[in-house]
Amino acid sequence: MTIHKEGKKILLGSLLTFTIILIAVHFFLPDWKWLFYFLLAAFIVLYILFLQFFRLPQRTNNAGADQLVAPCDGKVVVIEEVEEPEYFHDRRIQISIFMSPLNVHANWTVCEGDVRYVKYHKGLYLVAWHPKSSTENERTTVVVERKQGQAVLMRQIAGAVARRIVYYVNTGDRLERNHQFGFIKFGSRVDIFLPVGTKVHVKIGDVTIGNETILAEWQS
């Protein structure tokens, strides 16, 4: 278990801030010991939550060549056939995974392939399970195409708490299995759009483990 690179500055900054506040209370309000110990306890709890949020477990998936893995930890909240208007402009199977603040927030590619499309969209901050969050919230869209021709769209979506989406890929990049393509800070959602006919291996309510849970399987 390591700490994700996205959390190192935040953890260092929060530690320095907490320390300065505690020192200030200790020296300038020496009679308010209750406040010092209250803040100390609160800071310890908050820092542990930060450590938990930015944890990065070491995971290596052993999925088959035609299997797609979950891009993140979370809970499956949507499985439906929809019209995908941004890139494919046709009917696709949408699978949505909601990530709570307690989940690991690294985002892994669901399959190997070449990045054909990357676009960041500014937007709203509706709660992540809102039906319109996929098209109206701040989001990033990444499309990966296999050499066999099948393509998958992965969409990172900000929520009411998450206000920072980070992505590490550009058009033309090659993604291999176990490759992280991004990170969402403090809870949100990832949508995956697959060709109609793809065999889905999860159901609504299932809990996924990023880069481990078999999400679906390409059909020849």
Question: pLDDT digit string (tens) for 169-187?
Answer: 999 999 999 999 998 876 6
Estimate the crossing angle of helix 33-53 against helix 5-28, to 10 degrees: 180
pTM of the entire predicted model: 0.83
Residue 129 in this model has a pLDDT that exceeds 70 = no
Q: Which of 96, 133, 134, 188 is catalytic?
A: 188
What digits encode the pLDDT tens for the residues 35-62?
999 999 999 998 888 887 788 888 888 8
Q: What is the pLDDT of residue 115?
A: 97
Task: Say which residues have a Cβ less than 8 Å from residue 76's Cβ, sequence separation at least 6.
Answer: 95, 96, 97, 202, 203, 204, 205, 206, 207, 208
Backbone angles phi, psi at 185, to 5 degrees: -90, 125
* Per-residue DSSP letter, 40: H
pLDDT > 60? residue 162: no
Q: Dihedral (C-alpha) 157, 163, 168, 174: value to the nearest 10 degrees?
A: 0
Q: pLDDT category, 133, cuts 50, 70, 90?
A: low
Residue 114 tokens, joined = 């070449």
Contact 106, 56 (CB under 8 A): yes
The H or E element spanning position 25 is helix 5-28
In percent, the amount of the chain with pLDDT more than 90 equals: 63
First to last CA, the chain: 37
Tokens of residue 49, six digits:
């939550």
Q: What pLDDT, on the 0 to 100 scale, is given for residue 64?
A: 86
Residue 188 is a catalytic residue: yes
Q: Average pLDDT in the 141-146 region?
A: 96
Backbone angles phi, psi at 136, to 5 degrees: -115, -20
